């Protein structure tokens, strides 16, 4: 019905455009008199009114995604009418000119401005409101219907949902604006959001001009927003914010600030802000020069300047969070692979030459505490997050045919923030208990599971007979657990008790955490309000009682799928009703994802690595060349103004051993050319690269006649390299 209405409106619009074209063609501005000019003015007003009515109706009937194109078309048409109108008015300008200007100003001409956007983040509301008032609300040439159109174009995601269903009309604009004011102009929530933003500012890890200036900008923005909300930053509030900012500073910047204070002095917030600006300027102008550096002949003094050998960040290996999160045997393996010292983790010497007097805090042996392995072969929890839990099956199998395991298993639960949430297929079913009564249970449909599983607590509530069976369940990372006991049960959909399914499931203590991990907005559910949902509360975080495996999953699927919006998940048709699954882009505050990683360690490998760790390292004697290389490095390394290290290349003195390098290099070049001629596109990229290299001055052409044969000179062969993953230079030399 809406499609037919829109079709009629578009036809009416085309007719009006044809009338406008014919009307303009008949006007001869040089021959018209005053009476004809009045008729033209009246006709312009009539056409303008008709176009306004048609476009207002089109805005109501059309989809929101195409409104922008209609707005541009309306602007062009009305500008055309205004041009004709003004031409006539200027020619017959009289004493009533002021009233004519008033009429011209009433013409609807949308401003060619880039509208601000608002996604529903309360921290952005004040800025958005100021910009929208200046660009739209304070523009007297706009009608309320066009203000509402601009408002809808400016809103995204959750904010757009609030006024999505409001039709475009003059009377509805104030209603829509008041709804947004009611939702986002809550003074208390705005103040708390600003304080939360202040508290969540990231701490600066090391002295940095950019980081300090970004911190100052964020603080000033928050303070200005608090002032707008009449929350003046003074007295205790000043001290509170001062303390919070000090916690965000790196230790060096904080030390310099506190050095200039008197004992027991509580500084002002303005003093700290000024200090940060001055300190940032000081850091900017005190970058190290590439020509001035200090030489050091002690290899141990280089440790503080080198980057982490594991993640290449500016900290030592002992403070590397990624290295600490590794299991102890992974840390040992990394230290061995990089030939690091087992005592101090330095890369400049082995443990036998280490001058460190520290030892392991657990066993007092000659190795670093981070590399300690418990003699009782218990899996260490070092490196696990605070939320980590060790998985222990609640019940062990009693059947004699179970094979004992010789490996130790540990798991690690890590909670991390993410911007999207992924929904899994969930449904609510009614299970028949031992008394033929229906018990409600929430299940998850899992096409990747070979078996079905049910929580032991639900089985006790159902009172069904349990068979004496046990299976080994393999999870991610090949980690295993035991599911002991099996039951047969019958379930029906939530809304159709005539359809029933018989299946079996193995008993397990817990299937998974809450799905979804957090409560999602009610508006997500409203997007599927016209469907009969298998899980009416799929958007709310709650427990899973049953996991239905692939054998049940496939028999329940009907095959129909609905995808309404890129931000919305899929809707899948099943015999239990519609299930909702897939990723959703609805913004959720403090959304977290729980990922589970398992580590399996064979006991024999653990014992072997333990004894290898305890072995005394063999003595390593350096050759004459190796000693010369180490001496060359210590005497010639430097750090440039960009913080990078450079060292002079250690050329050998016996360069004559290269022999006649020209013939070999020329032969290699001919072979390369033959290969490239067979691949024209690669050959062209090779030529482009060499031409660019020559134009940039990275190489220069040498005339063979200008080469002094008395001096040593050598020819170096080259070849092309193809890097498929490169987005810019795919072929280079």
Collapsing DSSP to helix, strand or coil, 607 comes out as helix
pLDDT value at 614 more than 60: no
Residue bearing the bigger pLDDT, 502 or 640? 502
**pLDDT bracket for residue 374 (50, 70, 90):** low
Instruction: Give the count of alpha carbons within 13 A of 54, CB side only.
Output: 22
Is there a contact between 608 and 600 (Cβ–Cβ < 8 Å)?
A: no
**pLDDT bracket for residue 131 (50, 70, 90):** confident
Among the ranges given (267-276, 397-406, 511-520, 633-642), the one the predictor scored with the smallest mean pLDDT: 397-406
As a whole number, mean pLDDT of residues 408-424 equals 55
Q: In which element (H, E) is residue 48 found?
A: helix 34-61
Collapsing DSSP to helix, strand or coil, 402 comes out as coil
Is there a contact between 532 and 496 (Cβ–Cβ < 8 Å)?
A: no
Is there a contact between 377 and 606 (Cβ–Cβ < 8 Å)?
A: yes
- Above pLDDT 70, what percent of the chain? 74
Q: Where in the chain is the domain with CATH 2.40.70.10?
A: 420-587
Does the reported pTM lie above 0.85? no
Residue bearing the bigger pLDDT, 514 or 729? 514
pLDDT value, residue 656: 56
Q: Per residue, what are the HEC states of 339-369?
A: CCCCCCCCCCCCHHHCCCCCCCCCCCCCCCH
Distance CA 197, CA 215 (A): 12
Collapsing DSSP to helix, strand or coil, 393 comes out as coil
What are 566's two structure tokens? 């890129």
pLDDT digit string (tens) for 237-253? 665 677 677 777 787 77
As a whole number, mean pLDDT of residues 310-321 equals 83
CA 720 to chain CA centroid, Å, is 36
Among the ranges given (59-68, 94-103, 107-116), the one the predictor scored with the smallest mean pLDDT: 94-103
Collapsing DSSP to helix, strand or coil, 172 comes out as helix
Distance CA 667, CA 673 (A): 10
Distance CA 392, CA 482 (A): 10
Q: Per residue, what are the HEC states of 550-590?
A: HHHHHHHEEEEEECCCCCCCEEEEECCEEEEEEEECCCCCC
pLDDT value, residue 428: 94
As a whole number, mean pLDDT of residues 24-33 equals 69
Question: Long-range contacts of range 369-373, CB-CB < 8 Å, 24 or more positions apart?
Answer: 370/318, 370/323, 370/324, 370/328, 370/331, 370/345, 371/328, 371/331, 371/332, 371/335, 371/342, 371/613, 372/328, 373/328, 373/329, 373/332, 373/606, 373/609, 373/610, 373/613
What are 118's two structure tokens? 């608002």
The string of DSSP codes covering 622-662 is --HHHHHHHHHHHHH-EE-TTS-EE------S-GGGG--HH
Is there a contact between 99 and 118 (Cβ–Cβ < 8 Å)?
A: no
pLDDT value, residue 425: 92
pLDDT value, residue 681: 85
pLDDT digit string (tens) for 478-499? 556 778 889 999 999 988 878 8
pLDDT value, residue 302: 36
pLDDT value at 379 more than 50: no
What are 400's two structure tokens? 């004699």
Q: Please report, to the nearest 10 degrees, the dihedral formed by the alpha carbons of residues 638, 644, 647, 649 taken in order.
A: -160
CATH 1.10.1660.10 fits 420-587, yes or no: no
pLDDT value at 389 more than 60: no
Strands (E) in 70-198, as ranges, are none
Residue bearing the bigger pLDDT, 682 or 392? 682
Q: In which element (H, E) is residue 725 found?
A: none
- Which of 104, 114, 105 minimizes the C-alpha distance to 150? 114
**pLDDT bracket for residue 502 (50, 70, 90):** very high
pLDDT value, residue 358: 76
pLDDT value, residue 340: 86
Residue bearing the bigger pLDDT, 125 or 235? 125
- Above pLDDT 90, what percent of the chain? 9
| Torsion sign (Cα): 2, 533, 564, 584 | positive
pLDDT digit string (tens) for 565-605? 778 899 999 999 999 999 887 655 444 444 444 444 445 55
pLDDT value at 546 more than 90: yes
**pLDDT bracket for residue 455 (50, 70, 90):** very high
Which among 37-46, 136-145, 521-530, 722-731 has the top mean pLDDT?
521-530
Q: What are residue 453's phi and psi, to 5 degrees? A: -135, 150
């Amino acid at each position: 019905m809406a499609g037919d209405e829109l079709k009629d409106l578009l036809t009416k619009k085309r007719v009006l455009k044809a009338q406008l074209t014919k009307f303009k063609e008949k006007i001869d501005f040089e021959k018209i008199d005053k009476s004809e000019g009045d008729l033209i003015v009246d006709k312009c007003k009539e056409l303008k009114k008709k176009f306004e009515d048609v476009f207002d109706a089109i805005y109501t009937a059309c989809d929101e995604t195409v409104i922008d194109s209609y707005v541009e078309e309306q602007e062009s048409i009305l500008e055309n009418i205004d041009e004709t109108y003004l031409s006539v008015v200027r020619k017959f300008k009289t004493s009533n000119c002021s009233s004519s200007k008033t009429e011209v100003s009433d013409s609807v001409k949308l401003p060619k401005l880039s509208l601000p956007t608002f996604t529903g983040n309360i921290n952005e509301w004040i800025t958005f409101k100021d910009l929208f008032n200046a660009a739209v609300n304070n523009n007297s040439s706009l009608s309320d219907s066009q203000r509402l159109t601009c408002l809808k174009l400016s809103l995204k995601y959750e904010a757009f949902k609030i006024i999505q269903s409001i039709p475009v009309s003059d009377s509805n604009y104030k209603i829509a604006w008041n709804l947004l004011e009611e939702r986002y102009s809550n003074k208390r929530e705005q103040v708390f959001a600003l304080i939360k933003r202040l508290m969540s500012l990231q701490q600066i890890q090391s002295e940095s001009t950019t980081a300090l200036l970004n911190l100052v900008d964020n603080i000033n923005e928050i303070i200005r927003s608090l002032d707008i909300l009449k929350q003046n930053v003074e007295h205790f509030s000043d001290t509170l914010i001062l303390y919070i900012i000090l916690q965000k500073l790196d230790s060096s910047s904080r030390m310099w600030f506190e050095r200039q204070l008197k004992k027991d002095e509580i500084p002002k917030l303005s003093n700290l802000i000024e200090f940060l600006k001055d300190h940032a300027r000081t850091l900017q102008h005190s970058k190290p020069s590439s020509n001035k550096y200090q030489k050091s002949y002690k290899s141990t003094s280089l440790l503080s300047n080198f980057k982490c050998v594991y993640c290449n960040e500016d900290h030592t290996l002992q403070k590397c969070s990624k290295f600490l999160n590794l299991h102890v045997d992974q840390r040992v393996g990394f230290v061995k692979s990089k030939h690091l010292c087992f005592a101090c983790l330095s890369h400049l010497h082995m443990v036998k030459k280490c001058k460190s007097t520290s030892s392991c805090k657990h066993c007092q042996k000659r190795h670093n505490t981070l590399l300690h392995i418990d003699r009782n072969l218990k899996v260490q929890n070092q490196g696990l997050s605070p939320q980590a839990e060790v998985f222990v099956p609640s019940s062990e199998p009693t059947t004699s045919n179970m094979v004992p395991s010789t490996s130790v298993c540990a798991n690690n639960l890590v909670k991390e923030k993410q911007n999207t949430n992924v929904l899994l297929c969930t449904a609510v079913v009614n299970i028949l208990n031992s008394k033929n009564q229906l018990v409600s249970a929430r299940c998850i449909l899992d096409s990747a599971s070979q078996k079905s599983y049910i929580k032991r607590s639900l089985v006790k509530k159902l009172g069904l007979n349990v068979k004496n069976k046990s299976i080994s369940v393999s999870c991610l990372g090949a980690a295993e657990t035991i599911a002991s006991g099996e039951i047969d049960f019958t379930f029906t959909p939530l809304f159709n008790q005539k359809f029933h399914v018989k299946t079996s499931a193995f008993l397990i203590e817990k299937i998974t955490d809450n799905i979804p991990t957090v409560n999602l907005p009610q508006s997500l559910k409203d997007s599927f309000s016209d469907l009969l949902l298998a899980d009416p509360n799929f958007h709310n975080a709650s427990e899973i009682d049953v996991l239905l495996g692939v054998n049940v999953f496939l028999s329940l699927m009907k095959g129909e799928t609905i995808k309404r919006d890129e931000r919305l998940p899929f809707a899948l048709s099943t015999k239990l009703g519609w299930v909702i699954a897939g990723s959703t882009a609805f913004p959720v505050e403090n959304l977290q994802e729980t990922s589970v990683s398992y580590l399996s360690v064979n006991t024999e490998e653990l014992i072997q690595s333990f004894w290898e760790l305890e072995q005394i390292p063999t003595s390593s004697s350096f050759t004459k060349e190796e000693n010369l290389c180490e001496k060359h490095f210590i005497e010639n390394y430097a750090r440039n103004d960009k913080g990078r290290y450079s060292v002079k290349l250690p050329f050998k003195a016996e360069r004559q051993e290269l022999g006649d390098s020209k013939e070999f290099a020329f032969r290699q070049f001919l072979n390369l050319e033959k290969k490239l001629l067979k691949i024209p596109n690669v050959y062209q990229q090779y030529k482009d690269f060499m031409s660019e290299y020559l134009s940039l001055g990275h190489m220069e052409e040498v005339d063979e006649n200008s080469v002094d044969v008395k001096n040593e000179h050598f020819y170096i062969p080259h070849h092309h390299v193809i890097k498929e993953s490169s987005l810019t230079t795919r072929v280079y030399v």
